Amino acid sequence: MSEIIVVYDGQCELCRNSISWIAKKLEITALDFHTAELSALDLTKKQCSREVFVVTQNVRASGAAAVALLLKRRGNKVLARLITISGPIGRTSYKWVAANRSSRPVKVLAILISRATR
């Protein structure tokens, strides 16, 4: 298992495409919360249904903070910093995307990320 564990929604196209894009440059262990043994990570399905979690030996992050952490570790430091300094805007944007996974804008974003992994 990798040092970085990502617990995500394996039924979400944006989530799957994002995991593929992240994994191109960063070694991660990606766990679909629908099938993973969450109790070993002290997480619940309810928590994981709302947001992504990143767990390392020293850090546990969720939502926008988890995305920023993955981007930073992947080498996308500017984008990670923008998400971090945006504060409530970044967190609110993440929550909107997570709550509207089947919306047209999120589907378009999923397609764009998919194209970036080719």
44-56, pLDDT tens digit by residue? 999 999 999 999 9
Segments making up each domain of the chain, as ranges: 5-116
Beta carbons within 10 angstroms of residue 94's beta carbon: 21
pLDDT digits (tens, 9 = 90+) for 95-116: 999 999 999 999 999 999 999 9
pTM of the model: 0.93
| Dihedral sign from CA coordinates of 112, 113, 115, 116 | positive
Is 1's pLDDT higher than 80? no
Computed on alpha carbons and rounded to an integer, the radius of gyration of the chain in Å comes to: 13
